[in-house]
Amino acid sequence: DALRYSNDEIQGTARFRALSGAFGALGGDMSAVNINPAGSAVFNSSHASASGSILTRHSETDFFSTEHAKTNTAIDFNQLGGAFVFKNSNENSPWKKIVLSAAYDKVDNFNNDWYAHGSNTNSIDQYFLSYAQGNRLDEISRFSGESYTDAYADIGYYYGYGNQQAFLGYESYILEPLDAVDENTAYNSNIGAGTFFQKYYHESSGYNSKVALNIATQLGNKLYLGANLNTHFIYYKQDTYFYENNSNPSSIVNEVAFDNSLRTTGSGFSFQVGAIFKPIEFLRIGASYSSPTWFLLQD
């Protein structure tokens, strides 16, 4: 999760993307504001821009020599911003102008889906057994009269994710305790040995986006200064679907379907400061600092 939400793709205006985001000292572009806040002070007049792109993702899977490929293409809106330039009417002042701007950028796009299928000699029962072994039966099962939803939530709260997975295996009759008492900690599988046809589908969508409120100024003809206050927004949706069919007709359990859904929403805050120095006409030197991003996420 941390890797997913900390990854930045090169999004933004066509000019910004054409130069692979190398705008730390260049400025004069709405997407450049997210790299160096001083970049908006380079504008000589008010400016606005909006950008879109065509997003293409290609996936290939190889599951026990069964290959599958898929390409997804979609139109993506990823940048919107405007800068308002206020020039100083006092020609004797060293402060040449102040620029106020706001910029929206989509940092990452999570839209993707892929599919895998094939024959396997191992069943998904090992997944559930690995979580169940060593746990008491009353820590992975429902109490009398308790709903499945309440039991799943309570087990997660008191014992954690692993016990929840064991609960799913036990309550779906994939697992069988060696002794049907609360103190039991050993389990067998109700899925017999065989060849298992398995298929798995993964679908995800969402975004990681940022809104920057920017102020910048030009001091003399050589120095630009700027600062950003950034608000971050995250939405992530992931659905996975697993199906297994056992070729062994004598197995107690022959088919397993296991679906998972994850929804994550959140927001965050960060700030940036930056400067651009132009010692001579054809040379600019840029420097900026970006704070950590403080996120509050909810699954």
Quote the strand ranges of 45-110, DSSP E: 47-63, 66-87, 95-109
Give the pLDDT of residue 295. Answer: 93
pLDDT digit string (tens) for the chain, length 299 residues: 777 888 777 788 888 887 877 878 888 888 889 889 999 999 999 999 999 888 888 999 999 888 889 888 888 888 999 999 999 989 889 999 999 999 999 988 999 999 999 999 999 999 999 999 999 999 999 999 999 999 999 999 999 999 999 999 999 999 999 999 999 999 999 999 999 999 999 999 999 999 999 999 999 989 999 999 999 999 999 999 999 999 999 999 999 999 999 999 999 999 999 999 999 888 999 999 999 999 999 98
pLDDT of residue 6: 80
**What percentage of the chain exceeds 70 in pLDDT?**
100
Query: What is residue 1's predicted lDDT score, i.e. its pLDDT?
Result: 75
What distance in Å separates the CA atoms of residue 216 and residue 85, rounded to the nearest whole number? 9
**pTM of the model as a whole:** 0.82
The pLDDT of residue 102 is 96
Domain ranges of the chain: 2-113+209-233+269-298, 124-190
Interatomic CA distance for residues 217 and 214, integer angstroms: 10
Angle between helices 161-171 and 148-158 (to 10 degrees): 150
- CA-based torsion, 286, 41, 208, 49: positive or negative: negative
- Helices (H), ranges, the chain: 2-6, 14-18, 125-132, 148-158, 161-171
Tokens of 43: 């504008």
